[in-house]
Amino acid sequence: MKRLGLIDIGSNTIRLVIFEYSNETGLTELQNVKTPARLSQYLNEDKIMAHEGINLIVETLNSFKKVSKKFHVEELVPAATAAIRQSKNVDEIIETVKSKTNLNIEIIPEQDEAFYGFYAATHTLNIEDGITVDIGGGSTEVTYFEGKKLKNSVSFPFGVVTLEKMFFEDKEHNDKNAIKKCEKFVKEQFSSEKWIKDKKVPIIGIGGSARNNARIHQSLHDYPIAGVHGYDMNKKGLEEIFDVLKNANKNELKDLDGLSRDRTDIIMPSSIVFNTLYECVDATRFTFSRKGLREGVVMTRLQEEFPNAFNKDKVSTEALRYLSNEYHIHVSNGKQRMVLAETLLTKVIEHTSFEVADEDRDLFKKAAYLYYLGSFIDADSSSQHTYYIIANSSINGLTHKERVKLALLASFKNKSLLKFFVKETTWFKDNEMEMIQKLGGIIKFSNALNVSNTDCVESLELTESEDTFELNVTYVTDPIAEAYQSERQKKHLEKLLPKKLNIKFTQG
């Protein structure tokens, strides 16, 4: 286990995030505090940072040191991006901070800043080919990757703070002329990098500006589940946000749900950047990543000490392992339930016309492992707790719809409760509902075959006679609880079989 604090000294905000890593629960965020520093405003025309800006950095870092001490942080890393990187008096800033805080600021080079965002996104999302965009206060990092391997990267010398200064200073946020000039400038900047054009891949938005755009969109549509990581939008969604911002006055903007008050003056430039990039890329969708620069820095550091900590090829598998550990699912019980469920599904498919898509089968296996994890909170309402935990947890590697489908499968109790949960999102068509019910029924029956958590069942065999199906269950230890529960739950299997089911337990 290791506890590490990262102070992200950006152009717009200074933020402390305290992370903890363990082999059992992965990388978790323990604390996240920020102050809207706006360091860019302390840079004069000659790119020299004023003493007021340097003093602000010193005060903030000393305050964050106290927070870190309370959390017993082993290593505190102050990392600076564009505002300090672009300062001509960068050496003075570093020396002053060192003398007054005893902290060594690490200046992150442009290319490294782009890499860290790419690294975090590809290790926490299940997107093979894509473009990342991270708009800071003073720079915008864009990368292109194929097969989760970095191909191109660039750091543009503009961010939301600099764009606001260039085009919107002393003007309303929705000034038509300012918007038009900003759009033209951003398009020219993106067009200067030929590898960006017409890639026809998803764009991954990273950072605070992306997060605020996602939350605004979620608020506009009364989005029913928590979190923005893995949240998808199409071109119409991005344009909708832009139109809302353009048509809102200053007071309406302050009250806009999803928008942080300290970003009201810089939200329009971010929307312009996202919409312009979407057109240049001819993107397939816009996905938001809550993991970016900070996570990328921390993950690459931890990788040196824990070489197997992060696997970009097994993102969702690792995330669900950590989730199961957090709620104390016993490994052998989870695996036994998964094996039984897979075996039953295979045998049902062999004897019927039942067909399951690969992606549904994958979620089915994961749900069998996680089944009723909510019992850790309360056994009597384990189905309800299971659904809400999974549906509202940020699970790396899963889209939001996949997350909810996993929650529905892992919490399956009966058709009535399934319908109740499904109403929350209204995302699933009748045929999808039917599939979830059938697969959920198999998982529930599989759980009945290991209800004592003793792994007593050794093998399963399904045979067909003229009038019935017979499930022969070979056991190695006394299956009294399993025999009783499987009889109670066999109706879930019978819904998939054209004949009645008889269950026979045989000692191995």
DSSP three-state, residue 134: strand
Q: Does 348 score more than 90 pLDDT? A: yes
Look at residue 262 in the predicted model and tell me its pLDDT.
Answer: 86
Check whether 41 has a pLDDT greater than 90. Answer: no
133 and 223 in a single domain? The answer is yes
Per-residue pLDDT averaged across 181-185, rounded? 98
Same domain? 257 vs 359:
no
Q: Which of 318, 404, 401, 410 is nearest to 370 (CA)?
A: 410
Give domain status of residue 467, yes or no.
yes
Residue type, 346: T
Instruction: pLDDT band for 11, please (50, 70, 90 cuts).
Output: confident
Mean pLDDT of 328-338: 94
Domain annotation covers residue 57: yes
Report whether pLDDT(169) > 90. Answer: yes
Look at residue 82 and tell me whether its pLDDT is greater than 90: no
* Residue 311 located in a structural domain: no
Mean pLDDT of 267-273: 97
Same-domain status, 99 and 126: no
Token output for 382:
């384990």
Q: Give the domain extent around 257.
A: 111-293
Task: Domain count for the chain, please give it.
Answer: 3
Same domain, 492 and 348: yes
Which of the 8 DSSP states describes residue 207? Answer: S
pLDDT digits (tens, 9 = 90+) for 212-223: 999 999 999 999
Given a cut of 90, is residue 197 above it in pLDDT?
Answer: yes
Which of 108, 128, 147 is the last residue before a domain boundary? Answer: 108
- In the chain, count of helices (H) and strands (E)? 19, 14
Flag whether 496 is in a domain.
Answer: yes
414-446, pLDDT tens digit by residue? 999 999 999 999 999 999 999 999 999 999 999
- Residue where one domain finishes, among candidates 55, 86, 108: 108
Same domain for 99 and 144, yes or no, is no
Domain membership of residue 226 (yes or no) is: yes
In this structure, the answer to whether residues 187 and 287 fall within a common structural domain is yes
Torsion over CA: 264, 266, 270, 276 (sign): positive
Residue 257 has pLDDT above 90, yes or no: yes
The pLDDT, as a whole number, for residue 196 is: 98
The confidence band for 189, taking pLDDT boundaries of 50, 70 and 90, is: very high
**128 and 247: one domain?**
yes
- Tokens of residue 217, six digits: 């969109």
The pair of structure tokens assigned to 321 is: 């392992």
- pLDDT attached to residue 38: 85
Within-domain flag for 449:
yes
The verdict on residue 357 lying in a domain is yes
User: Do 250 and 320 reside in the same domain of the chain?
Assistant: no
Provide the CATH number for the domain around residue 25.
3.30.420.40
Pair of tokens at residue 83: 């505002």
Return mean pLDDT, the chain: 95
Q: Which of the listed residues 108, 140, 167 is the one where a domain comes to its end?
A: 108
What CATH code is carried by the domain that includes residue 170?
3.30.420.150
Return the number of other C-beta atoms located less than 10 Å from residue 359's C-beta: 10
Residue 157 and residue 272 share a domain: yes
Helix (H, G, I), strand (E, B) or coil at 177: helix
Token digits of residue 360 = 């549904």
**Residues 82 and 122 placed together within one structural domain of the fold:** no
Do 371 and 490 sit in the same domain of this protein?
yes
In Å, how far from its chain's centre is CA 24?
A: 19
Domain co-membership, 100 together with 166: no
Q: What is the pLDDT of residues 43-69, one digit of tens each?
A: 888 999 999 999 999 999 999 999 999
CA atoms within 13 A on the CB side of 255: 4
Q: The tokens 């991006």 sit on which residue?
A: 81
What's 347's domain CATH number?
Answer: 1.10.3210.10
pLDDT at 492 over 90: yes
Residue 304 lies in a domain: no
Question: Rounded to the nearest 10 degrees, how much is the dihedral formed by the CA atoms of 436, 442, 446, 448?
Answer: 90
Residue 137, pLDDT > 90, answer no
Q: What percent of the chain has pLDDT over 70?
A: 100
pTM of the full structure? 0.92
